[in-house]
Amino acid sequence: MITVHSGVLHNGVVELVQVQVVVYKRSFPQLIITGLPATEVRESRDRILTVFREMGIRLPRGRYVVHLQPAGTKKNGTTLDAAIWLGVHLALSEKEPPQSVFAIGELGLDGSLFAPRGALAIVDRALQELSADTQYIVPADLRKEPYTWKNTALSSVKFVSSLTQYLGGKSEKPEKTSVFSPQSSPVPLAVSAEMLRLFQLICAGGHSALLFGSPGEGKTHSQLLLQHLVVQDGNSQAATHMQYEYGAANSDLVLFLSHTETFAQLKRWSAFVAERFCFIDELPLWEKRKRELLHGWMEIGETPDMSRTTVVATANPCPCGWFGDARCTCTEYELGQYQKRLSGPLLDRFCFHHRVVNMVPKVLTAPELRVVQKTILLARKKQEQRHEHRGWSKWAQQYAWTDMQAAVKIPDELQMAVQTWTLRRQTHWLQCAFTLCDLGGDHEVPTPEHLWEARQLVEPQFGMG
């Protein structure tokens, strides 16, 4: 029996999967996939067989049984294509297979390998849980992303034909990605200073944010930054910080959801999203009832201690994604209909509307990341102290407008600058100012400098290009 490790996104959570392949020769030729495969996983059977035929490989007669372990978890998406193909190939090969191998990717009919949705999060999880001698095979287009991993056995493949030659001993090993060894200091992500500052505010104050920008700017892959910076409150802060010291991402508090999730799945998650960070991919593509459900998640609870969900959502500025660029093909009507999918009340619940641009990222060293994490922990501690002394909420995102207005002296020119905003937007403004104050660590209440910076950060701008 051949075993290849891989993974899927199930209800927004990364689940590692073992692809087990057994070949029974002298049997009627067929490929069977068991272990609760979804429709797109069952369709991989035809993609895999077509790739073998295109490569000129004729499968011997036999019964090929592919089991996806654990059997009780539904497997969806196209992340398992490469692992299933590799498992079948290794089962037919006379060469001794690697001791432990991980493969992820979607197969094209010509044998090309693509990075499916959630590939970065799955690889990051596998590097944390699988053995140190595991060999990783990932699509080559993951190298375009501004992230690296702590593993020296990470190989990128454009076509599975090169992988076949490597396993058969006919060519050199596939090209390695630029990775760091476990002893080196950089952490497995690289970000711009602007994005780092934004996510520092999100994780310190629990503020929701809408990230919009053209395709390829890194909106979706900022989920890894969120996983590394999110902190738990209460007595678990120290334990969470120790986890960061060893480079592990706190993915248990981050829920990744996309428009492909069913309404029933989202309803089941409603009971567990409080005090979680939800990363929502392509929000305008969600159905109306799903957006209304998300609207409810972002409401404040019945009591100050009931935390609402912190949502980080992504969106393209227009249907084609290239608004304001010569490549944009959207008509004015299409743009209007697209932007209407996000209602004013829903947009108003996002504290930040941030335009993501493709800036040159900087690879963070471990000491630099620890400084950011400690700053977030200190800000959370100040909010805990404010909760004990003033009776305010434990999160800056839940501070009441009347309490903040009574505690902060707002300059007249700032009052004039924000008077056209909704009351909710003005509340976001002061909540952000308190978070900036807590991150600075020198003041109990925001200064005019904090108020002016917060005004620039919470300025609504979605749809303006």
pTM of the model: 0.61
| pLDDT > 70? residue 462 | no
Domains and CATH numbers, the chain: 2-167 (3.30.230.10), 196-392 (3.40.50.300)
Q: Which residues of 130-140 are buried (b: 16+ CB within 10 A; e: fewer)?
A: beeebbbbbbb
Helix count (H) and strand count (E) of the chain?
17, 16
DSSP 8-state class, residue 108: P
Using a pLDDT cut of 90, give the percent of the chain over it. Answer: 11
Which residue intervals of 215-329 are DSSP H helices?
223-229, 237-245, 263-269, 288-297
Report CA 175 to chain centroid distance, whole Å. 26
| Alpha carbons 124 and 191: distance in angstroms, whole number | 16
Adjacent-strand bridge partners of 363? 190
Higher per-residue confidence, 251 vs 13: 13
Residues 209-243: pLDDT tens digits? Answer: 999 888 877 787 787 788 778 754 433 333 333 33
| Residue 412: both structure tokens together | 């007249």
Q: Are 45 and 31 in contact (CB under 8 A)?
A: yes
Phi then psi dihedrals of residue 420, to 5 deg: -85, -10
Who's near 332: CB < 8 A, 6+ residues apart? none
Q: How confident is the model at residue 260 (pLDDT cuts 50, 70, 90)?
A: confident
Q: Are 137 and 155 in contact (CB under 8 A)?
A: yes
| Alpha carbons 224 and 231: distance in angstroms, whole number | 14
| Alpha carbons 256 and 390: distance in angstroms, whole number | 35
| Residue 182 preceded by cis peptide, ω within 30 | no
Q: Are 88 and 57 in contact (CB under 8 A)?
A: no
Q: Is 106 helix (H, G, I), strand (E, B) or coil?
A: strand
β-pairing, 2-10 with 13-25?
antiparallel
Q: For 155-169, 319-333, 387-401, which range has the lowest pLDDT when averaged over its residues?
A: 155-169
β-pairing, 113-114 with 186-191?
unpaired
| Residue 237: both structure tokens together | 């802060």
| pLDDT > 90? residue 162 | no
